[in-house]
């Protein structure tokens, strides 16, 4: 379990992370989402002790990361591109890491195989593609068989094979009962990878929820209706308070009434309906809606504060 309690970080006057509290539970993939500059990396860096919180705490399995006797066994991380000795081979890079931290060197070949670098283990890391380097970084994160894993934007710049590989790996790690926290700004990727989402904006928590709940909460609430009685049904629905648009004859896009209410009205007036489909918001739409409200709220707050200052 990874927990943030009122976690706050200022860089000078800039607040990068603002009273952020959330918990990341084991056994599922948690997506950590936010637009550029939202404070994701700073939060992750505070969790692993690379940045000091201005106030608040971040703990891994109940203690601050650095207070654990063997921190790498608690949490493995891939934060930004790892600095690699380019002249070292993949195997010697991992051997050095294992030896420095007192882990069995037998684990090195295991993680090399796990990340699919077994065949190139004796090649220099300097000759690796972006995807191979990313796999090596993940091997390093997993070297101590940690209970929790944090990966910062792991699919950035990867080809479709690499993306699919990371997606599968994250799900496997969670299925083994580990805590998995993965940051991204790619909603489409998180929609298929994450079970749970922690979303931040301007350093503040915007949502701590499941993918399904977020989509349902924001839900566009539109219903697509195909009917040979387009004109008549449209008028009927509008009389009952719906807003209806139509791009083609016989197709209605209805807002303001549920699919059940539309079906009941159509039946009552004996209009044939050939299709009635509630439209689901994509995670991308749900996220845009959530962040739009948050931005407006902040703009509102700022405006009110400004007016109060003028009045004073
Ligand atoms: N070392 C630093 N010194 C000063 N300001 C910083 C520092 N690190 C981050 N910031 C600022 O803190 C805010 C949050 O940055 P952070 O990198 O955590 O966001 P992010 O969500 O990871 O963004 P991205 O998706 O672009 O990586 C930004 O306004 C950034 O400019």
- CB of 254 closer than 6 angstroms to any ligand 1 atom: no
- Ligand 1 centre distance from Cα of residue 34 (Å): 11
**Strand arrangement of the beta sheet that strand 75-78 belongs to:** 75-78, 148-152, 179-184, 29-33, 196-201, 204-210
| CATH number of the 221-278 domain | 3.30.70
Please give the backbone phi and psi of residue 210, each rounded to the nearest 5 degrees, phi first. -90, 165
- CB of 41 closer than 6 angstroms to any ligand 1 atom: yes
Q: Whose CA is nearest to atom 4 of ligand 1?
A: 11
- Ligand 1 centre distance from Cα of residue 31 (Å): 18
pLDDT band at 306 (very low <50, low <70, confident <90, very high): low
| Index of the ligand 1 atom closest to the CA of residue 12 | 4
Mean pLDDT of 144-148: 92
Cβ-based neighbours of 229, under 8 Å, separated by 6 or more: 271, 272
Q: Which of 10, 17, 41 to mutate to test the pocket of ligand 1 (most atoms within 8 A of CB)?
A: 41
- Ligand 1 centre distance from Cα of residue 219 (Å): 31
- CB of 80 closer than 6 angstroms to any ligand 1 atom: no
- CB of 30 closer than 6 angstroms to any ligand 1 atom: no
- CB of 42 closer than 6 angstroms to any ligand 1 atom: yes
Q: Which of 37, 190, 205, 206 to mutate to test the pocket of ligand 1 (most atoms within 8 A of CB)?
A: 37
- Ligand 1 centre distance from Cα of residue 14 (Å): 10
Q: Whose CA is nearest to atom 3 of ligand 1?
A: 11
Q: Which of 8, 36, 39 to mutate to test the pocket of ligand 1 (most atoms within 8 A of CB)?
A: 39
Token pair recorded at residue 57: 């705490």
pLDDT for the residue numbered 237: 96
Instruction: Tell me the per-residue pLDDT of 233-274, one tens digit each, with 9 for 90 and over.
Output: 999 999 999 999 987 889 999 988 989 999 999 999 999 999
CATH of 2-83+130-216, one of 3.60.70.12, 1.10.287.990, 3.40.190.10, 3.40.50.300: 3.40.50.300
What secondary structure, in 3-state letters, does the chain show?
CEEEEEEEEEECCEEEEEEEEEEECCCCEEEEECCCCCCHHHHHHHHCCCCCCCEEEEEECCECHHHCCCHHHHEEEECCCCCCCCCCEHHHHHHHHHHHCCCCCHHHHHHHHHCCCHHHCCCEHHHCCHHHHHHHHHHHHHCCCCCEEEEECCCCCCCHHHHHHHHHHHHHHHHCCCEEEEEECCHHHHHHHCCEEEEEECCEEEEEEEHHHHHHHHCCCEEEEECCCHHHHHHHHHHCCCEEEEEECCEEEEECCCHHHHHHHHHHCCCCCCEEEECCCCHHHHHHHHHHHHHHHHHHHHHHHHHHHHHC
**Domain coordinates in residue numbering, the chain:** 2-83+130-216, 221-278
pLDDT for the residue numbered 308: 52
Please give the backbone phi and psi of residue 40, each rounded to the nearest 5 degrees, phi first. -65, -55
Q: Whose CA is nearest to atom 12 of ligand 1?
A: 16
pLDDT for the residue numbered 22: 96
Can you tell me the ipTM of this complex?
0.95
Say how far apart CA 280 and CA 61 lie, in whole Å.
Answer: 37
Instruction: Tell me the per-residue pLDDT of 1-60, one tens digit each, with 9 for 90 and over.
Output: 999 999 999 999 999 999 999 999 999 999 999 888 889 999 999 999 999 999 999 999
Q: Whose CA is nearest to atom 25 of ligand 1?
A: 36
Instruction: Tell me the per-residue pLDDT of 208-240, one tens digit each, with 9 for 90 and over.
Output: 998 878 877 765 578 999 999 999 999 999 999
The reply to whether 2-83+130-216 and 221-278 are identical in fold is no
Q: CB atoms < 10 A from the CB of 194, how many? A: 27
């Amino acid at each position: 379990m990874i927990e943030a309690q009122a976690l706050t970080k200022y860089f000078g006057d800039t607040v990068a992370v603002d009273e952020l509290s959330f918990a990341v539970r084991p056994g599922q993939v948690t997506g950590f989402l936010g637009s550029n500059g939202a404070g994701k990396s700073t939060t992750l860096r505070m969790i692993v002790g690379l940045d000091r919180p201005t106030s608040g705490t971040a703990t891994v399995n109940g203690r601050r990361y650095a207070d654990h006797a063997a921190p790498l066994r608690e949490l493995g991380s891939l934060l930004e591109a790892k600095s690699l000795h380019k002249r070292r081979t993949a195997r010697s890079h991992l051997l050095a890491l294992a030896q420095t931290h007192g882990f069995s060197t037998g684990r090195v070949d295991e993680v090399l195989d796990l990340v699919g670098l077994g065949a190139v283990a004796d090649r220099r890391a300097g000759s690796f593609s972006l995807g191979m380097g990313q796999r090596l970084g993940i091997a390093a994160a997993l070297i101590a068989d940690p209970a929790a894993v944090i990966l910062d934007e792991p699919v950035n710049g990867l080809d479709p094979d690499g993306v699919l590989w990371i997606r599968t790996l994250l799900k496997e790690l969670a299925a083994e009962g580990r805590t998995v926290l993965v940051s991204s700004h790619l909603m489409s990727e998180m929609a298929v990878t994450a079970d749970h989402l922690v979303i931040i904006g301007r350093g503040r928590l915007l949502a701590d929820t499941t993918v399904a709940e977020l989509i349902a909460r924001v839900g566009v609430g539109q219903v697509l209706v195909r009917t040979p009685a387009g004109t008549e049904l449209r008028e009927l629905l509008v009389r009952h308070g719906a807003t209806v648009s139509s791009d083609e004859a016989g197709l209605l896009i209805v807002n303001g009434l549920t699919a059940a209410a539309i079906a009941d009205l159509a039946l009552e007036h004996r209009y044939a309906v050939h299709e009635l489909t509630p439209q689901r918001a994509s995670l991308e739409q749900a996220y845009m809606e959530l962040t739009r409200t948050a931005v407006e709220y902040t703009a509102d707050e700022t405006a009110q504060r400004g007016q109060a200052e003028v009045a004073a």
